[in-house]
Structure 1
Amino acid sequence: MSSYFRPNIDAMAGYVPGEQPKPGTRIIKLNTNENPYPPSPAAMDVLRNFDGEWLRRYPNPFANEFRQAISEVLQVPMDWIMAGNGSDEILNVIVRSCAEQQRKVVYPTPTYVLYRTLAEMQPAEVVEVPYGENNRLPIDELVAANGAVTFIASPNSPSGHVVSNQELRQLASQLTGVLLIDEAYVDFADSTALPLVQEFENVMISRTLSKGYSLAGLRLGFGIANPKLLSGLFKVKDSYNIDAIACAVGAAAMRDQPYLQQCIAQVKACRAQLTVDLKQLGFQVPDSQTNFLLARPPKGNAEAIYLALKERGILVRYFKQLGLDDKLRITVGTEEQNQILIEALLHLI
């Protein structure tokens, strides 16, 4: 029987998300980089008091209430902002708008594996360029690849490192295609590449409310770029891609910056202590500017530890791929969750 699908869909593996246990499961979930703290009380108030009339109607096609909140907080004109159903939709729209078989998708590795999945769906040729020593950005190689879209995650997953604005500026100035800087974890970092969108017409920043704002279940993100770049992307996005609830709740969360900063400070403090505790157990733990750590066990037996932790009701992320198969990516939990993890590891290493 012939396939129902395009050849590239039959050939691709597809993106594999981190394990999501069933609701009510007693487990410590440190595998998908969710924020361990609850969403903003202001956002929850909006959800509790949401007027059902707005469910009867179609939402604003551009999520203007949410875009207005972003504009106020980040001091960016509203017409430089595009709302997305999670920042993953922003990545998807960029690939669908700009890439095809003769127009490549390029990125340094290791990084977010969804970039490859989106390119394969298009389909578009993929060029993966390994990071240099100490996570040096391979600028010359990325430029030579001549991508229609070049993705740089900063802070990067799974390494947790930030690419400097100096390197990103050098890269942007030499690319002829779009440079998408994925700042999903920027709320936990010390710097942002946001100023580059005003310097370069071909640069776009994507962000999400899944991490810092504790709204992974809402599926809400946004991109910031020159309106000339956004004009083509708006043609490709869904007509009503952001629902009315997400728009209202996201706007409230965005405006509650004091609560965001309180949660970020807690995550950073727990990240610092978890780093110390893991190192005392013999793990190699590079500095991270995210809400997770990439840690190598003393014996490099990451898969065995991952499975043993899972049996104890603790989920962390294991990547069975070259360069990562001796490491674990561990989401920073609450102080209590992190301590339970450390106590479990004491019996496993």
Structure 2
Amino acid sequence: MSYFRSNVDQMTGYIPGEQPKPGTPIIKLNTNENPYPPSPQAIAVLRNLDSEWLRRYPDPYANEFRRAASEVLGVPVDWIMVGNGSDELLNVVVRACADLGRKVAYPVPTYVLYRTLAEMQPAHFIEIPYEENFQFPLEKLIAANGAVTFIASPNSPSGHGVSLSDLRHLAANLTGVLVIDEAYIDFAEETALPLVKEFENVMVIRTLSKGYSLAGLRLGFGIANPELLSGMFKVKDSYNVDAIACLVGAAAMQDQTYKNECVAKVKASRTKLAANLKQLNFRVWDSQTNFLLVQPPTGDAEQIYLALKERGILVRYFKQSGLEDKLRITVGTDAQNQTLVEALVAIVE
């Protein structure tokens, strides 16, 4: 006897990266957190929080954050929907738009949560492999014509970005919703944000976990035409964003100078780390994110992952087709990256 729906019994479920306890002497380069602290302005809001914000229910639309994001991005407030992390918004889209007769499509390898959400619904899903060297399978995605099409740009774990022209062509040829997941956009060269004004069926989703160093806050937001958002609001939780997240997130969003300074440091470290890994004969894919996808010269990625773990360094290993011989490494501080490189020298030699 099972207490669960048949699709829940059959699914594996999403497996997050390892999360050691705070204070553990670990160099954590496995879940793409920003290595630098959040904005001092965001920390100040947290330290001076009035307890009245805790006593009362929060604003169901997180309007303080919406106003901050509206000002920074130049989009109207009512074009923004806020979520308990961008993952909640991905879930909301699937719940609102997909079921067994309305399929979910996306290229792979990518963020595995897309499949998990489809299985939870349940909804049929179509996984279209990226072509060689992560060439975008544009025509196959158009042919799939999902009720929901997810495109992570920049993509994880590859780190590549999808061109705006390809995304525009895709949006123009889909009858369903195109969701462009821009979790890593702060480290990228191009945004798809203009497409939300051009197409009613496009939604761009972002998070404060990466560029803003607020992964523990759980705050994300989506931008889309209000006509599209109207259906999403019907299925979100009533008070899905807590008052603390709204206030702290708004302060972080308004401090673009600090965020951009941290992003610049990460990008500089990314370039240096990539060069060091290439000197060790690792294959390193170009990245528009705060991580690198790499292939060890001997291909023994799992053994290197385990050897690094023994040395107190966590990186991400995906035991799945096409990724068995690769590692995803978050860009840390220069000091952390140097420790990683020194450990790899010892392991490889």
TM-score by length of 2: 0.99
Aligned to 1:217: 216
Aligned to 1:186: 185
Q: What displacement does 1:146 show?
A: 2.2
CA distance in 1, matches of 2:320, 2:50: 48
Aligned to 2:83: 84
| Most deviating of 139-148 and 267-276 | 139-148
Q: Does 1:75 align with 2:74?
A: yes
CA distance in 1, matches of 2:135, 2:167: 12
Aligned to 1:120: 119
Letter in 1 for 2:247: A
The runs of 5 or more residues in structure 1 that have no matched partner are none
Count of residues paired in the alignment: 348
CA distance in 1, matches of 2:144, 2:261: 42
2:110 aligned counterpart, secondary structure: coil
CA distance in 1, matches of 2:3, 2:245: 34
CA distance in 1, matches of 2:289, 2:193: 17
CA distance in 1, matches of 2:257, 2:190: 18
CA distance in 1, matches of 2:132, 2:75: 35
Over the residues paired in the alignment, what is the CA RMSD in angstroms? 0.5
CA distance in 2, matches of 1:276, 1:188: 18
Letter in 1 for 2:87: D
Q: Does 1:147 align with 2:146?
A: yes
Stretches of 4+ aligned residues off by more than 6 angstroms: none
The equivalences for 1:247-258 within 5 A come to 247-258=246-257
CA distance in 2, matches of 1:71, 1:262: 21
CA distance in 1, matches of 2:26, 2:136: 37
Letter in 1 for 2:347: L
The equivalences for 1:153-232 within 5 A come to 153-232=152-231
The runs of 5 or more residues in structure 2 that have no matched partner are none
CA distance in 1, matches of 2:136, 2:230: 30
Q: What displacement does 1:57 show?
A: 0.3
Aligned to 2:312: 313
Letter in 2 for 1:84: G
Q: What displacement does 1:348 show?
A: 0.7
1:92 aligned counterpart, secondary structure: helix
Q: Does 1:130 align with 2:129?
A: yes
CA distance in 2, matches of 1:132, 1:193: 22
Cα deviation 1:295-332 (Å, max 9, x = unaligned): 00000000000000000000000000111010000000
CA distance in 2, matches of 1:135, 1:346: 28
CA distance in 1, matches of 2:301, 2:94: 33
Q: What displacement does 1:36 show?
A: 0.2
Aligned to 2:286: 287
Q: What displacement does 1:145 show?
A: 1.3
Cα deviation 1:122-176 (Å, max 9, x = unaligned): 0000100011223221122112112110000000000000000000000000000
